[in-house]
């Protein structure tokens, strides 16, 4: 009996290990798989849909009342729903609500949006859509809003951020979308993101140690370690974490090479958009402690502008803070007029925000006066 019990325990551990490996090795749900069933608690707006019909294209948009990016995406989804009304059915699925948010409150919220949320809306049932869609596809790690597109054959054709839907839907409706390529890209992006994160932890041994105040960074060693990481996976060379560590290490050893590398970072996408923040955050970090070449300050300012230009929903972003920090870099580069222009944009953007901070406005205006007087 004892041997049997031990065997059963060992078998259980093995089954658990295999199951865990399957979950970690590959998402249970991915592009190219049949779409899971649609299960909702109730329909809040639009035409109730019982199941996905072959021959139709569907967009499932996962959102919540507390999610500002979700709300910002809604007018854009409404435009797509209207544009493709004869070919595509857009469905907003309310998920992950706070315990105090009742279905009645969700309905009131949807009603208050009017035509800004002009498509079908439903509330999920018993967490089924979260576990069966977001968790199964590992899309929950990326947060919401998150979009799933089901093609005419009932297969998952795409998973991603709604800002990218216009390009994706156009190709799916035109039958020029390649599911195999989309799957390969998603798997590659997830793998690169994990490797980039791991590399960042490994490089901390050379860049900083929060538990040792007297820690001395070793930029040369960091660059050697980065070369080895990139040798094993060349696609990581301009990824966000690698870019941050490479650019900061080069600034300490060879600012000219840092500038050359930084310029490439700003125009190179990896598993995500170019790592604009990796450049300007490093420049900001060094600005107060080092006398950097003018071209480095200008590169940082350019990185800020490129980041601003690629913000999908500017109305909810802290764009004013980006302009404010950009102005400081222009000032350090002795570009007085550009510093003043950037600070004016910071003030204008801030004033356009609802319930903006008067303290921030006072600080921005004081900085503007400083630039004008010098």
Where is average pLDDT lowest: 80-94, 109-123, 285-299, 317-331?
285-299
Helix (H) or strand (E) holding 72: helix 68-83
How long a stretch of residues is the chain?
374
What is the pLDDT, as a whole number, of residue 13? Answer: 38
Per DSSP, the residues of 155-182 read BEEEEE-GGGHHHHHHHHHTT---HHHH
Helix (H) or strand (E) holding 150: strand 146-150
Of the chain, the percentage scoring pLDDT greater than 70 comes to: 92
Dump pLDDT digits (tens) for 155-168. 999 999 999 999 99
Helix (H) or strand (E) holding 93: strand 88-94
What is the pLDDT, as a whole number, of residue 213? Answer: 72
pLDDT at residue 311 greater than cutoff 90: yes
pLDDT at residue 21 greater than cutoff 90: no
This prediction has a pTM of 0.87
What is the pLDDT, as a whole number, of residue 11? Answer: 39
Per DSSP, the residues of 11-50 read HHHHHHHHHHHHHHHS-SS-TTSBPPPP-EEEEEES----
pLDDT at residue 207 greater than cutoff 90: no
- Identify whether the C-beta of residue 130 lies closer than 8 Å to the C-beta of residue 150: no
Dump pLDDT digits (tens) for 320-367. 999 999 999 999 999 999 999 999 999 999 999 988 889 999 999 999
Is 268 or 216 the better-scoring residue by pLDDT?
268
- Identify whether the C-beta of residue 35 lies closer than 8 Å to the C-beta of residue 28: no
pLDDT at residue 16 greater than cutoff 80: no
Dump pLDDT digits (tens) for 109-130. 999 999 999 999 999 988 899 9
Band of pLDDT at residue 25, cut at 50, 70 and 90:
low
What average pLDDT does the structure give for the chain?
A: 91
For residue 287, the tally of other CB atoms under 10 A from its CB is 17
pLDDT at residue 214 greater than cutoff 80: no
Cα distance between residue 64 and residue 106, in whole Å: 9
pLDDT at residue 65 greater than cutoff 60: yes
| Of 253, 300, 250, nearest in space to 275 by CA | 300
Cα distance between residue 259 and residue 262, in whole Å: 5
What is the pLDDT, as a whole number, of residue 2? Answer: 38
Mean pLDDT of 9-35: 59
Is 277 or 355 the better-scoring residue by pLDDT?
277
């Amino acid at each position: 009996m004892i041997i049997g019990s031990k065997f059963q325990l060992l078998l259980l551990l093995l089954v658990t290990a295999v199951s865990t490996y399957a979950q970690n090795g590959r998402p249970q749900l991915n592009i190219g798989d049949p779409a899971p069933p649609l299960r909702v608690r109730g329909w809040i707006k639009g035409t109730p849909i019982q199941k996905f019909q072959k021959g139709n294209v569907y967009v499932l948009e996962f959102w919540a009342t507390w999610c500002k990016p979700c709300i910002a995406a809604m007018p854009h989804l409404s435009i797509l729903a209207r544009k493709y009304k004869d070919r595509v059915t857009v469905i907003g699925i309310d998920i992950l609500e706070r315990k105090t948010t009742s279905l009645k409150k969700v309905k009131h919220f949807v009603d208050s949006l009017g035509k800004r949320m002009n498509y079908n809306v439903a509330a999920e049932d018993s967490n089924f859509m979260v576990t069966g869609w977001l968790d199964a596809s590992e899309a929950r790690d990326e947060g919401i809003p998150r979009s799933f597109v089901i093609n005419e054959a009932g297969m998952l054709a795409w998973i991603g951020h709604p800002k990218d839907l216009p390009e994706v839907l156009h190709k799916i409706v035109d039958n020029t979308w390649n599911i195999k390529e989309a799957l390969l890209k998603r798997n590659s992006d997830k793998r690169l993101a994990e490797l980039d994160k791991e590399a960042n932890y490994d490089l901390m041994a050379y860049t900083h140690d929060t538990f040792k105040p007297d820690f001395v960074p070793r930029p040369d060693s960091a660059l050697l370690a980065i070369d080895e990481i990139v040798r094993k996976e060349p696609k990581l060379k301009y990824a966000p974490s690698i870019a941050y560590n490479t650019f900061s290490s080069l600034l300490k050893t060879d600012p000219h090479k840092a500038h050359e590398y930084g310029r490439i970072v700003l125009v190179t996408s990896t598993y995500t958009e170019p790592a604009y923040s990796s450049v300007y955050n490093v420049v900001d970090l060094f600005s107060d402690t080092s006398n950097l070449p003018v071209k480095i300050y200008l590169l940082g300012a350019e990185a800020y502008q490129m980041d601003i230009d690629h913000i999908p929903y500017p109305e909810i972003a802290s764009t004013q803070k980006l302009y404010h920090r950009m102005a400081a870099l222009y000032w350090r580069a002795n570009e007085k007029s550009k510093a003043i222009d950037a600070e004016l944009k910071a003030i204008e953007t801030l004033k356009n925000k609802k319930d903006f901070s008067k303290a921030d406005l006072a600080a921005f205006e004081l900085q503007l006066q400083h630039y004008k007087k010098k």
